[in-house]
Structure 1
Amino acid sequence: MKIIILGAGVIGVTSAYYLAKAGHEVTVLDRQPAAALETSFANAGEISPGYSSPWAAPGIPQKALKWLFMKDAPLVIRPTLDPDTLIWMGQMLGNCTASRYATNKGRMVRLAEYSRDCLIDLRKDTGIAYDHRMLGTLEVFRSQKQLDAIGKDIDVLRQGGVPFEVLDAKGCVAAEPGLAAAESRLVGGLRLPNDETGDCYKFTTLLAERAAMLGVKFLFNTRIRRLIHDSGRVRAVATDKGDLEADLFVGAMGSYTPELLRPLALKVPVYPVKGYSITVPIVDATKAPVSTVMDETYKVAITRLGDRIRAGGMAEIARFNTDLPPVRQATLTRSVEDLFGGAGDQTQAKFWTGLRPMTPDGTPIIGPTRYANLYLNTGHGTLGWTMSCGSAKLLADMISGQKPEIRSDDLAIARYA
């Protein structure tokens, strides 16, 4: 089957790879000059299935009000009367119940655990290296209140069979020796020993090369204008270089997917939630993290990527704004220096921002639409890297008529009908 994938981030490239492995003729379109140059470029680097949680959770509305007055707030809401923003925020608030949280987190963990297994198999098959480590993730808490609040997450981890450890401050330092100087400020942590880390950009660019060896054609510097459709099917995609026809189309454009599908009367509740990262060279490895440390106070993930430290986090609701306010960099720097002071050279920090495509329930949208030959693989939020391989393998199985290896009927856009 001839398939066109719209988007060459980590989701689009993994989709292309698995579809090509399944025997399809695949073409990938992207406006950028190469793969993974937008949201996949400098994310936090964590592959954390156990920490796959929706932003919509009990207590978030109250916390959001408090964050409005915090200097280092993990969530920033820029005032707006934009209808799409208000509708999405209303849908997200509707998911801030205990029952919805349990349902959403359960399916996110299911997909993320499967994705990690797919990544392990892919790594064996290809041998690609991307500064990956398999040393777990540690979430650290500075207050007893934070530690006491992990009960609902532990219940989901137990139900999903995900190994975990609840640690005291000394246990946190034993797992991450670089935290020694910060031990007095910690009350405990939650460690997931099976989590991994890695450079998403390196992975995606290397996998794109492998996909090309399988026959995947990448058309970069190509702007996607619209989808041409009739009689319940998509016939072609109009680009700035002409119309391209195919048997099937996959929307994997992240935050830009809704605008593409709006003329087709498909409402895709994916919103661009802005996130930030800094990358600094390591100058003292003994003070640096060995894997990923999640700072619960600042909602920042601090990851070891080879000879670099990547710190990423925060969420800003500001539509497609991509400016880089110094105050956001200061928050990331403060988190790193508070936990791993002196490990990296902050004078050489590279500051970056990306738009995470988030659904109101946190779960990505994977599967068919009411257009017979249009599928979606989008809306992964902060977890595109974590869920990429599993999402792509599920999509390839669906399109190829194979039975998916995990439950997938609750992942398609139909759940919003």
Structure 2
Amino acid sequence: MRLVRFILLLLWAPVAASAATLEGVPNAAPASEGMSAEALAAIKPHFEAYVKEGKLGGLATLVSRNGKIVHFETYGDRDVAAEDPVRADTIYRIYSMTKPITGVALMMLHEEGKFRLDDPVEKYIPGFRNARVFVSKDEAGEVVTEPANRPVTMLDMMRHTAGLTYGVFGDTPVDQMYKESGMFNPETFPNDGDNFALWAERLAAQPLLYQPGEKWVYSLAVDVQGYLVEVLSGMPFEEFLQKRLFGPLGMKDTGFQVTADKVDRFAEIYTREEGKAGVVPARGGLLRDYTAKPPFPSGGGGLVSTISDYWRFAQMMLNGGELDGVRILKPETVALMTENHLPPSIPSISDVGQQVGFGIDFAVKGGEFYWSGMANTFFWVDRDHDVVAIVLTNYVPFGAYPIRAEFHDLVTAAIKP
């Protein structure tokens, strides 16, 4: 089978090379947009090596400048066992790259005057009223709390300073309480109930891990934002995204579920196992069945998308909130979202010596804003050079390889002064 596939690739190489473009996306020669073709050419062999060495099943990389694609490549397989290659329209789990999209949806409502950034969240989710903060556990193992010194604000919820945690990545007593509450178990949500409201009530009932505004801790805050979109718009979150964001931007393959007509484009998810060569399908943990409707739409990590869809979103942000004549946000709102909102008491979200700020659902550093996803997906927008770069893979765990740093270095080297 592999020999047949190799022969076909040789026979059709000229066609395949010319077909490595994205439908409906403008392309340009690198030199015409101030990019080094030679430097960009180094991206392909670098990531091909990951596939050849059995470290990744498949991936795609994209670079654009001035709104035009100057680099796009696919590597490896969408489905390794079936030897089905990654294509331009392959659909990926983007996990936490959902977060910036949710933030944009909520800020669309901010533009409409639905809320202020200094509003208390309890104004819209009453369960956050009279919030209490975890202090310790007593000798009997009972949780000791104290009153929050101020209400959690909408800005807190949008910059991860609300006092929440994630419940799956940490090992604090509050993380354990999240797990024990059944918040991550779909079986605890009734099929005929308002699951999103029930989930929000469960979260609000847990003590905060720290005082509001005291620390930056990666958390379920963006899932709360998704629920806030429902509350403020009066529309189901997924419907709001489709009608107000995905439809207008032409993001036709982005959503919370992979329908039957798209399953053959959905990337399998892979990992490595000790003693086994190559990648193996990943199972369990946070890997839900995307062909089934989720109990509620996760604004923090539930979307799937294609590289061209996500490029349209990122390019819209680089353009100041507009793409192809469709305005999603005002330029001043984009500027607000992509500036650092951390207080002086929190100098950085990074614990590795880098000064990284945080805006509204984006990390910000210098002229760039960016984020990533659990399956080693990454994107960034470089405002100083009008560059968008995206890499989508289908591999867990996050951070297994230095993909983002390597891709960032390769792209930066290609930018001509």
How does the TM-score come out when normalised to structure 1?
A: 0.25
How does the TM-score come out when normalised to structure 2?
A: 0.25
Structure number with larger C-alpha Rg: 2
Structure showing greater relative contact order (alpha-carbon pairs closer than 8 Å, 6 or more residues apart):
1
Of Structure 1 and Structure 2, the greater strand share is in: 1
